[in-house]
Amino acid sequence: MIKEHLIKSNVTYRDHTSHAVCTGWRLIWGGITSIIHGICPVFFDGVAPRMIIDIYHDHLISHNNKEYKEMIKNARMRNKVKKV
């Protein structure tokens, strides 16, 4: 199962792990900044949304795994979002 995912994604285990851990930390930081911004709006204005957009474009849009394109399409349909 792991090997199948790595083959679909066309990455090595090491690259996959590195990217996943870095993305996880970025998401955690985005969550923390969002909470702080919610409490005190003058701090971290727009940090979390920009981070999510960057992760989306850096990883999902340009990813080799074709299943991600289908995930994006399904998410747009669920949320009734037009293609950007």
Q: Residue 4 carries which side chain, given as an amino acid letter?
A: E
Give residue 76's pLDDT: 81
Give residue 11's pLDDT: 87
Neighbouring C-alpha atoms within 13 Å toward the C-beta of 63: 23
Mean pLDDT by 10 residues, the chain (84 residues): 85 91 94 96 94 84 78 82 65
DSSP 64: S
Do the beta carbons of residue 21 and residue 80 sit within 8 Å? Answer: no
Give residue 79's pLDDT: 81
Site of tokens 């204005």: 45
Distance, CA of 52 to CA of 50 (rounded, Å)? 5
- Whether the model clears a pTM of 0.85, i.e. scores above it, the answer is no
